[in-house]
Every structure is written in C-alpha cells, then in structure tokens.
Structure 1
C-alpha cells in the first residue's frame, strides 16, 4: 500500500520555478541591494512551494556556477528554466555550453533590456500575454516581452510603454466631474484615446499606432500640421523621431494576439516567421528562397512548436532544429 510519507514532494509549478529563477538573476545582478534580498526572503517565506523552487534553482546554480557568470542573463535563464523542468543536469550543461559558443552581442542587449522591466508596473516575459484592469476601468493588454508604467493623477491618466506592445480599451473615467485625458506615451510621441480601442507597438526606430475602434490623436511635432493628427478606426500610423505618417495596413489582425492568435491574410512567410519569433526565445528564421511564400489562416500562439509544424504541413517547407533556441525553415527537398 502506498505510504504518503514516502512519496516524493510534488515538483513546484513551472510559474513558481520561473519566479525563483527571476529572483536568482535579480540578486546576482544587484548583490549589494539589501532591500531586494529582503524582498526575496519574503517571497520565499510566503509559501512552501516558493522555498522548494528556490532550493532547486539554487542547487542547479551551484553546479553551473563556473559558467553562469560568463553567460548573458537571458541565456542562463532559459537554461535554468528548462533544466528545472526535468532536463538532466548533464544535458543542461551541454545546452549551456552550446549557447556560450554563440557569443552573440545581441544576447547582451537582450539582457540589459530584460532588467529594465523589473521596475515596470506591468511586464511580460517572452511568449507571455497578460491583461490588466486599470483603476478607471480601462483594459490594458500587454503582448509578449513588453513593459509599461501607469501614472494616474487628478489631471491625467497616462500609460508609458517602454518596451513591446500594448492594446488599450478606453474605460469611462470614474471622476465624471473631471476631464482627465487617457494617454499612452512612447519615446516617439503621445497618443490620446477617445472612446477607443487601439494598439501601440514599439518597433525599430519608430512607434506603430493601429486604431481598431473610436479615434486616437497623435501629439507629435512631426505630424503634418506640426501639432497633432487624428487617427480613425481602421487606420495606422508610424511615428518616429523625425516624422509621423500613415502606414500601410499589416497582413495580419493587429489585435488578435490579445486572444492568443495570429490571424494572417496572404502574409509573406518571412514576415510571419519574424512575428512568431517574438513569442519564443532564441533564433527563428527562414531561408531567403522561401521568404516570399504566402500564407493565410488562424494560428494559435500557445505552442509555437505546434504552430511551426502546422506551417510545414501547409507550405512546401521543412523545419530544422539545431537546438531548442535555433530553428530555421528551409525549402522542402
């Protein structure tokens, strides 16, 4: 008969392991911060599962100690995370060693950007999407690898997007006797929503605004009249440090990600793969010779490996996995 006292304790949930790894990396990069260390101890004491996850991650970290300091935090994070999910330790070391050979400066850049998220009011990891209800009833959706802050005062309702992409559905201001504008800011412009639903996305060198309902005013010195531009439902704009111009609609539903989907309309495979790559760590690419293939459909983001397998069934392409973090699509021979 099974003796409960002899059973192995249940493994901590993936989310809790991930939190433990987050704490480990934060403390590693802020070793002289006593407040942060106290916050970690408070988190560990909050639940026995927290302490269990912490001990497991600590044990693995000690084994990897010699290599961990030489590896960018995001790479170490991925290795620890997957090792904690019952990858053998030798396999974890092998994966870590393989990643170290990449020596990519891009990983270092990702590490620095990842740490910026820790001070954000709202943040998501790669592949994560989250929704938040703001105090005024506004609905905020954050896409993968994004960070935003909230600054609500008696005079304004402001959301600052510092990384990634958000969708905002305007709520009714409970302070009915005031006229607090609902604003989203990025490093390129200020966007004011009027009973609207809109998506703001930080891209290389610019911010993309896509309005799906209502209207949004862009406040930027680089609009056509030098003051502002009103964008209606169905329209998009690109705003940079030098200009604010109408943008061609994307070949996908701009807000479908909030429902965990990519909905494409005759989209180039290269563009599609670039989009999917935002939802998984590592490198995802396709050969130039197949980049102009087109696809349309509805694809679920919850499992990008299954998504890619479906693409390989739809188009004359094959998947090549060098590692979990290095995947390419090639022409089917």
Structure 2
C-alpha cells in the first residue's frame, strides 16, 4: 500500500495499537533480526497492518520534531491534542508514551505507559480491562494498567505479573498428562493454583491474593508455603505472609466493570477510582475519612464521581478534566 493510500485509509484502533507495540518492541530489540522479521511478517499479513504502520511511523516522526521544539511541559498537551485528531486520544497518548520512553522527555511521567507494558505478552492501559484465554484453557482477566508475561514449558505453566492486577480462573491442565501446576509469580512471591479462581494485585510494597473459588498455595521466601482457601485474602511482602481479616471492597468486582464498596474511606475510594483515569483525583483532608458503601460502574468515571454529592456532603471541583478535587460542601 502506498503512503498516500495509507493516509486515506482508517485502520481499526486495535491494529493501530498493534503497530505502536511493534514499534516499541523494535526500539527495545534494535539488534534482533528475529524481532524485525516478525514485524515484517505482521506488516505483510494484512493491508491494514501496513497502513497502520505507515501512520505510526509518520506520527512518531511528527511527535519527535514537536518535542524537540517544546519550550515547556504544557506544550506537550497541545501536541497531544493535535495528534489525537488523527489517531484518537487513546492511541495518541500511547504513542506519546513511546516517544517519551525512548528519550524525548519525562513529561506526563505518571500517565504514560512504562516500557514494561510495551514489551509484555499481554497488557492494558489506564482504564482498560482485557480478557484472555491461554492455550491451556486458563482464563485471565487484566485490570487497568497491567502487564503480564506467560512462560509455558513441558513442566510448568507460569504467568508473570509485572505490574497491576489479574483475575485467574484455572482448571486441569488441558495440554499435558502430567498436570503441570499453574504458577503466578510477582515481585513478592509465587502463587500456585490447580482448580481455582483468584485475584492477584501487586502494589509497590506488597502483593494481595484473594481467592474466590478453590484454593491457592502461597510460596513465600520468608514464610514457606501457606494454603489460602476460598473467601480468604492474604498480603505478601517477600518476608511475611499475613491474613487480611476483611476487605472494604469486593476484590474481583472490577472484572464485571464494577467497584463494590463496604464502608470504605472516601480517600481510599478515590485512590481506587484514580487507577482507572488519567490525571489527578483527590480530596481535602477534612473529608478523607467519610465512609461510603455501594456499587459503582467503571465505564465512565466522571459519571461515577458525579454520584458522590448525592450521598455525601461533598462537591466536585474540576480545574481541568485531568485535575479533580472533592471538598466539603460550603
């Protein structure tokens, strides 16, 4: 497909994202002939692939030139707005993240996708959720801002949680007569499930495991092995494994697009909602300890926030669409 026809054609957002991911992989594996060959195979597999590739290459060059001339961080948003008219806001933001990663700038560091997600086998952006069925039949759900790798061998099935949160539904090994264990590894430990449904959420200083069906074995360097039964949650930090007596939020409701709270602090609730949107979301200190219970839908976080003044003595203050603060009613 010629470059002119590539500009006229509109590839799907999914294909555009694939093209961006290939560009990021090539930047990370510049000396790998195998990676370049795989990219070439992807480009020729369908005309839309080459079309998306041409657009991403052109956009990357355009953004590079823009960043070189930027006098201040605020101008980044102007470049993003102009680029979004061609790729769409989500795709432009992801492409912007790639340019930043390869050295243009550190602007918007909180909101851009880190390099882990471009190189991961499976990933999601901020506010995105994704379902995957692995080759052995295991069902995997990725929550917002998550990166996962898989490593299946003749002796084990391994899922690496690099960042974020996943829900795993695993059963008998459909590919091996030896019944390979399913392992989920993260920064703080390893979890083994045979026939179970469980949620693994990795934070900076600990990882939380919540089992909703079956049982899961925790392998911790500090405390050996601990079996977690359905209905139980544990915190693992690499040295200690501790039972969490009660959660103030349903640990797996996000898989259905919900936040389900039980007497949750408003400050903690806003921290949870902020995982699904770009920018700053917070509240003044005098209302952070207000409590709320309910079911909230994640598909539109602005609508979700608009519900809070109906049940709590608070009001929303939007400085921009990316900077929202809750404060007490006057």
Q: TM-score range by the shorter chain?
A: 0.7 to 0.9
CA contact (8 A) 2:24 2:119 kept: no
Bigger mean CA deviation after superposition, 113-122 or 52-61: 52-61
User: How many angstroms does 1:321 deviate by?
Assistant: 2.4
Q: In structure 2, do the counterparts of structure 1 residues 292 and 10 end up closer, same or farther at CA, with 3 Å as the change threshold?
A: farther
**Residue 212 of structure 1: aligned partner:** 212
SS at match of 2:327: strand
How far off is 1:121 after superposition?
A: 1.8
* 2-structure distance, mates of 1:43, 1:25: 14
Alpha-carbon distance between aligned partners in 2 of 1:77 and 1:231, rounded to the nearest angstrom: 49
Q: Which residue of 1 aligns with 2:99?
A: none
Cα offset for 1:311? 2.3
Among candidates 255, 258, 269, match of residue 258 of structure 1: 255
Tell me, in whole angstroms, the C-alpha distance in 1 between the residues paired with 2:150 and 2:277. 27
Instruction: Report the counterpart of residue 98 of structure 1 in structure 2.
Output: none
Taking a change above 3 Å as real, the CA distance of residues 277 and 106 of structure 1, as seen in their structure-2 partners, is: farther
Partners of 1:122 and 1:148 within 8 A in 2: yes
Whole-angstrom CA distance in 1 between matches of 2:321 and 2:86:
15
Question: For the structure 1 residues 55 and 305, does the alpha-carbon distance in structure 2 shift closer, same or farther, using more than 3 Å as the test?
Answer: farther
| TM alignment of 1:98-247, pairs within 5 A | 107-108=108-109, 114-174=114-174, 177-223=177-223, 227-247=224-244
The offset of 1:183, in angstroms, is 1.2
Unaligned runs of 5+ in 1: 1-7, 93-103
- Cα distance in 2 for partners of 1:268, 1:60 equals 43
Aligned residue in 2 for 1:291: 288
Give the paired residue count.
309
SS of aligned partner of 2:275: helix
Aligned to 1:96: none
Which secondary structure state, in structure 1, belongs to the residue aligned with residue 132 of structure 2?
A: strand
**Secondary structure at the counterpart of residue 279 of structure 1:** coil
Partner of 1:4: none
Contact persistence 2:172–2:179 (CA under 8 A) = no
Tell me by how many angstroms 1:312 deviates. Answer: 3.4
Structure 1 CA distance, aligned partners of 2:207 and 2:273? 19
Gaps of 5+ in 2: 1-6, 94-104
The yes-or-no answer on 1:249 pairing with 2:246 is: yes
Report the alpha carbon displacement of residue 206 of structure 1 after superposing the two structures with TM.
0.9
Task: Provide TM-score, normalisation by structure 2.
Answer: 0.78
Q: TM-score, normalised by structure 1?
A: 0.77
TM-superposed CA distance for 1:191, in Å, is: 0.8
Is the CA contact 1:21–1:81 (under 8 Å) kept in the aligned structure 2? no
State the Cα distance separating 1:159 from its structure 2 match: 1.1
2:328 paired with 1:331: yes
Who is 1:84 aligned against? 86
